[in-house]
Chains A and B, each alone.
Chain A
Amino acid sequence: MVKSRVLEERLIKIYKSGEGFFWIGGPGQEAFDVPLGLLIKKGQTLDHDWLHLHYRSTPVLTAMGLEMIDGIRLMKNLVTDKHTHGRNFCNHYAVREWNVAPITSPIEVQYSMAIGTAVAQKRHGGEGITIVTGGDAGTAEGDFASCLIWASRPENPLPILILVEDNKWGISTAYLGQHGEKNISDRAKAFGIKSAVVDGNDVEKSWEAISEAMDYVRNERKPYFLQANLSRLYGHSSASGASFIANEEDCLKTFENELIKLNLITKEKIQKIWDNFQAQSLEDLETARKESPPTAESIWDFVYADSENADWRKF
């Protein structure tokens, strides 16, 4: 959790110092996303889970093993960025060996793509499931309804864990400006999809809820809808300032206090964890600063698979 937060705060500093262009990310989602990342069956086949994440999913990937330097390279759009090669925004990851579908900016499209990986997994059998996540405001898009409809067809229910991470905002539009439903997960009921709401700022409750949901999807090969209510701690993005929002619950503080109260860790030890990751992030930034940007010629790479020519000038 700390690693992900430190990475995000480093990315924000990179943005603010003019070394990166745009920041959007997931501080405030760690209590839910880290358990999610740890519970994922990680790998590259249909027996492993498929992930359709969004731009706030950094804690999921950090929990899966993403190194901070990879987030920094992406932020700095360097040639060494192994997710997009300097092409996409920060936190828009793509990891083939972990079945992490390329994260893309258009809101909600991941919910209709998730159907496809779930169709493949359903046919394949085994335990692999598809996990899709996004924000609350995006659920107004048709793709969200597509996911509910296709996942719950009695002829072929799909093994999809449908998540919504509700931070009560869509940029500046408040929850009540869009949602008549009390909980977004209420929509699952109409489709006979099992659902639950969890306090996504609570690590233990999140772990429990995700485990239960995953077990159900893995074994029943049917969809499950889990809504997590959580915080958005640095506002929407760098476009809205990316400054710390003090009046929302900070799940890291909550979790640390709890661990201290239970005598599982000391304040000093916690500080040490933060200091170590801070030092690592600075070291990583220094490394990244020495790395090159992509070349202008690289724009034609991988328009098609295997970089088959796509430039009409050469047809």
Chain B
Amino acid sequence: MKAVIAREDVGRLLAIAARRDELHVPVLDGGGGRFVPLNAEDPVPRDGLMLNGSSARRPPKEVLFAQTAPLFAFELRRGDFSIDELPPEAATKVLFGVRPCDGRGFRVLDSLLLGKCGTDPAYASARQGSVLVGIGCGRPGSDCFCTSVGGDPHGTDGLDVLATDLGDALHLESLTDGGEGWLRAIAAAVDSPLTPANPETDQRCREAHEEARGRVPRHVDLEPLDAVLERAFDDELWDDLAAACIGCGACTFLCPTCRCFDVQDEVRGDRGLRVRVWDSCMFREYTQEAGGHNPRPRRGMRWRNRFYDKFRWGAHDGQPACVGCGRCITHCPSGVDLIDLVERVVESGGAA
């Protein structure tokens, strides 16, 4: 279904949504923005809601794939232990204000965490029934390049509902059964602020999509890349490309499609949790074996791994595992620019 809501009524919509499900919205916090839970009685952060302009610094992946998540609990006894499996997430999670690149990011995460090999139960239960209400990007951020990697500022892939900003109103369109159910439920609420869409709002919607596409600021031609990557693995170029990188891992933590994790035991007294914690392939320790061997001792090798993973190995449905959100570019403390790197790799031609 399609519906329209006046701009000033968005707060009411969120209150209804929060009454029904566990709602998460992007807000501008001190750290550049992130998704936070919003309760029905919470005041909607009027200025802080990040529904237009740049996307939140931290992508919504942490809502469904927490930075630290328990795998199980245990109790230690003398020379023995018992294990308590933790109950799965019960609440349906609704993420309101997911950018289209981040919606596609969840598709990549799905392929990695609900994949052919195994299923991560915490992600699976958080993801099950989740509703991703997207908001198109009328004014994409300064490093966005979604259109170069198969996306669009109003792309629908991975989303359940897409909202389009019409200035004085939002236009909402459901894209999946889950999105349809959610939108109908909101429309059916006694105090629902939704009004039906009409040909005029449809037309304004199409215009907004067209305009936004033209505003995506950055572009990179990936067409020649695959052929170069075919040959470039043993090229010396990787050490050069990685020269400025300080190995902080910010690019991977902020990437909506990175999922690498570590597993650790946290113990307090005789009780504890085995947890999975985000990790980064940009860290030397990531592949450091206890016996001393490290297959990826140099930063250039680690960058090469990340680059190949985003543009070749991790590709799925014919699209790269990079969704063009631009975060790794905007937030790299050393100014390493992924688009620049793609261009330099292509220029090198993989002349090993």
A and B held together in a complex:
no
